[in-house]
Amino acid sequence: MLTAYDYQMAKILDATDIDIILVGDSLGMVFQGFESTRHVTLRDMMYHTSAVRRGTKRKMVVSDLPIGTYDTPGEAIKSSTMLVDSGADAVKLEGNFPEIIEAIVEHGIPVMGHVGLLPQSASKYRVVGMKPEEHSRIVSDSLSISQAGAFSIVVESVSEPLGKEITESVNVPTIGIGAGRYCDGQVLVINDLLTCDPSFKPKFVKRYANLGNLISEAVAAFSADVRANRFPDEEYSYGASS
């Protein structure tokens, strides 16, 4: 699973062999420039979900329910329906809220869970579950979420042994992000995978390309060509008969 927030990236990912495109509320940080995901609204998620859907014909699209949009079963159903109407195939929510998950699923909308580090409510981004009581709670939360009807669970920023224990304990697929090798799948933010921001260096991100450098080099070449009157030349200009 990889994130996408716009039509063009969705179109690129749709032609690959990944399984799921996540319209994550991480867009609040990588797209909008905030320091957390807590500024993202349902309207934001609907806008980006619609853009991603227009670029996606083959992949499953999962959209995050932003903070404050699933506090009650009724509100959760309404918010989830709006995301589905915008193009999502399923929604994702953070934390152990079995009644909320059950209500959305009973309404006919698939739900992806999320345990471990919960960016919407975390005061600090860190590895969680290191203390015995926290470890036990995260495992218990995972079981509760799977039993409530979630079709999969994202496991974020936990030790590899905890990620393995969760995966072996629940009866649905786990998707890790900073949770080690033993989850059933993995997810990354596409901007991190492509190194759009070289200053962001979490341990769990493997950089598969350096798009930031490529863009800088391309812009520098364009600027130099324009200043030297090399662009546009005859090849890129319309003639009298064009």
- pLDDT tens for the chain, residues 1 to 242: 999 999 999 999 999 999 999 999 999 999 999 999 999 999 999 999 999 999 999 999 999 999 999 999 999 999 999 999 999 999 999 999 999 999 999 999 999 999 999 999 999 999 999 999 999 999 999 999 999 999 999 999 999 999 999 999 999 999 999 999 999 999 999 999 999 999 999 999 999 999 999 999 999 999 999 999 999 999 999 998 76
Query: What pLDDT, on a 0 to 100 scale, did the predictor assign at position 197?
Result: 94
Give exposure, 65-81, as e/b (b: 16+ Cβ within 10 Å): bbbebbeebebbbebbb
Query: What pLDDT, on a 0 to 100 scale, did the predictor assign at position 242?
Result: 63
Query: What pLDDT, on a 0 to 100 scale, did the predictor assign at position 232?
Result: 98
| Catalytic annotation, residues | 156
Picking from 106, 77, 108, 85, the residue whose alpha carbon sits closest to that of residue 93 is: 77
173: number of CA atoms within 13 Å, CB side?
Answer: 12
Q: How far apart are the first and last CA of the chain?
A: 45
pTM as predicted: 0.97
Q: Are 178 and 163 in contact (CB under 8 A)?
A: no
H helices, E strands: number in the chain:
9, 8
Residue extent(s) of CATH 3.20.20.60 domains in the chain: 2-209
Query: What pLDDT, on a 0 to 100 scale, did the predictor assign at position 194?
Result: 98
Q: Which class is 2-209 in CATH?
A: alpha beta
CA 113 vs CA 102, 210, 242: distances in Å = 12, 31, 56
CA 167 vs CA 75, 117, 119, 144, 203: distances in Å = 30, 16, 21, 13, 21
Q: 201: how many CB neighbours lie within 10 A of its CB?
A: 10
Inter-axis angle of helices 160-169 and 132-148, nearest 10: 30
Q: 82: how many CB neighbours lie within 10 A of its CB?
A: 19
